[in-house]
Amino acid sequence: MEITIIILFVLSTLLFILSITQKDRSKEVEKQLENLSIQLMQEMYQIKKKVKVLEEETMLPSLESNSANSNRPLTRDDVLTMYEDGYSVEDIAMITNKEEAVVEELLSSRN
């Protein structure tokens, strides 16, 4: 009877130690997953920044050439399109060679 109790006690101790080590392994996996997730988010952010820069580079020359080479006057739609594309009033004024006040007036006018 005593031997059975001792065996059960030893077995329970071994199982307890085993359960502690199992928790540590899951924590390592969680850490690795978290690090991977953070790394992927950083890469996504960098890619989005690069895409935004490339979009701006491709849009800027086309907008400059359209506004510089066209003989038609600047319309509210032109300014509104640039503004909706994310250009600031200062950027639009620089691209169109107009004063900021003119750009703001076009944005605020109702047709």
CB 109 within 8 A of CB 76: yes
**Cα–Cα distance for residue pair 13/61, rounded to 1 Å:** 74
**Cα–Cα distance for residue pair 30/23, rounded to 1 Å:** 11
Look at residue 108 in the predicted model and tell me its pLDDT. Answer: 86
Q: Please report how many Cα atoms fall inside a 13 Å half-sphere around the Cα of residue 97, on the Cβ side.
A: 8
**Cα–Cα distance for residue pair 55/51, rounded to 1 Å:** 6
Q: Which residues of the chain have pLDDT under 70?
A: 23-24, 61-72, 110-111
Look at residue 25 in the predicted model and tell me its pLDDT. Answer: 73
